[in-house]
Amino acid sequence: MRVLVTGVAGFIGSHLTDRLLAEGHEVVGLDDLSAGALVNLTEARRAKEFRFSRFDVADPALSDLVAHERPEVVCHLAAQMDVRKSVADPTYDARVNVLGTVNVLEASRRAGVRKVVFASSGGTIYGQPAKLPVGERAGLMPCSPYGAAKAAAETYLATYGRLYGLDWTSLALGNVYGPRQDPHGEAGVVAIFARALLAGRPTLVFGDGTAERDYVYVDDVVDAFVRALGEAGRCRRLNVGTGVGTTVRGLHTLLAEAVGTPDTPEFRPARRGELQAITLENGGIRRALGWEPFTSLSDGLRSTVDWVRGTVGPVGPFADSKKPPTRMGGGSSNQRV
């Protein structure tokens, strides 16, 4: 099957591409490289069934490219995915995440694409639900422009389904972690803690450390995308999470164990606007796609630490000493979702 992957050079998109190529699919990858990096595509670029274009998903010329490539399925992962940035610059966020998605849908239906599989955000579209783990039928109450854009994109998916018969599945992802996760800035807490612990730098927890997130390993997320390529999961949202919450403090303990360093984070006052807890009910995706979270948190964290260890260079208390303390904690784990 020929699959077009947007956001191909990013964390999840590059893993998805490796899996699709390993299964014998042909992959046409698009990315504007605003956040992703070609180094993530090192394996993929060796395959003759892989083509890459540096391309902005909001560019109107996308229709020509998709019409030329004629993919059967589009996996749409390209996004501005920093919640804080969406608050600071909601117009930019909407340009990429709303207009970009409309552009992908329009190009897809013109080119006769069978299905669009979309990367939505279970951590932001539901807001702070009263009942956890939250199911797909809960109301959408995003508390950030990023979450609002994902909710809007889902509305467009459903509209294109009704208007043109374009099939779609929206995968509402939990907090995805694993190798290639961007450790810089306010990226995922796992990558940030792992990198800091390996470098012997202080780790900061904002709030009392009880904020809970649903951490799901990147290979399991990729498995959900692959299972959604066919007819199953037709025209609906499916949560992709474990249903189990892990506190930021608990996560720190597990990572300190995996790294082999003392479990002594520093605490800072909580930051406003962070969710206290979010976990995703996964009965829908188990039934629709036969999916289940395969990787235990401890195994996934170990793999992530091994990857970070291989990328940070010299490790030790003074190895990274020019850098400021790593800031992370509380719901900050949800900043890039």
Ligand X SMILES: NC(=O)c1ccc[n+]([C@@H]2O[C@H](COP(=O)([O-])OP(=O)(O)OC[C@H]3O[C@@H](n4cnc5c(N)ncnc54)[C@H](O)[C@@H]3O)[C@@H](O)[C@H]2O)c1
* Closest alpha carbon to 126 in 197, 43, 205, 214: 214
Measured CA to CA, the distance from residue 126 to residue 122 in angstroms comes to: 7
**216 contacts 242 by C-beta, under 8 angstroms:** yes
What is the per-residue binding string for ligand X in 83-122, x denoting contact by CB under 6 A? -------------x---x------------------x-x-
Nearer to ligand X (CB atom), residue 84 or residue 315: 84
Token representation of residue 226: 């692959």
Cα dist from 52 to 97, 101, 137, 279, whole Å: 21, 19, 37, 35
Kindly tell me which of 7 and 331 has the beta carbon lying closer to ligand X. Answer: 7
Q: Is 29 in the site for ligand X (CB under 6 A)?
A: no
Q: What does the CA dihedral 295, 298, 299, 300 come to, rounded to 10 degrees?
A: 70
156 has catalytic annotation: no
Residues 135-174 touching ligand X, rule: CB under 6 A, are: 173
Pair 295, 217: CB distance under 8 Å:
yes
Closest CB to ligand X among residues 13, 209: 13
In this chain, which stretch among 2-10, 21-29, 104-112, 229-237 interacts with ligand X, using CB under 6 A?
2-10
CA gap 186, 273 in Å, rounded: 15
Residues 266-325 contacting ligand X, CB under 6 A: none
Smallest gap, in angstroms, from Cβ of residue 81 to ligand X? 4
Q: Is 265 in the site for ligand X (CB under 6 A)?
A: no
179 near ligand X, rule: CB under 6 A: no
CB 29 within 8 A of CB 53: yes
Nearest to 275 by CA among 147, 173, 186, 182: 147
Cβ contacts of residue 23 below 8 Å, gap of 6+? 226
Q: With respect to ligand X, which residue has the nearer C-beta, 101 or 326?
A: 101
Among residues 4, 5, 7, 199, the one that binds ligand X under rule CB under 6 A: 7
Report the residue number, 26 or 214, with the smaller CB distance to ligand X: 214
- For ligand X, the binding residues in 47-76 under the rule CB under 6 A are 56-58
Residue 139: closest CA among 151, 150, 153, 149: 151
- Token pair recorded at residue 71: 């993919």
Residue 4 binds to ligand X (criterion: CB under 6 A): no
Shortest Å distance, C-beta 7 to ligand X: 3
Residues 22, 34, 163, 317: which binds ligand X (CB under 6 A)?
A: 34
The binding site for ligand X (CB under 6 A) comprises 6-7, 9-13, 30-36, 56-58, 77-81, 96, 100, 119, 121, 123, 173, 175-176, 182, 337
User: Which residues are known catalytic residues?
Assistant: 146
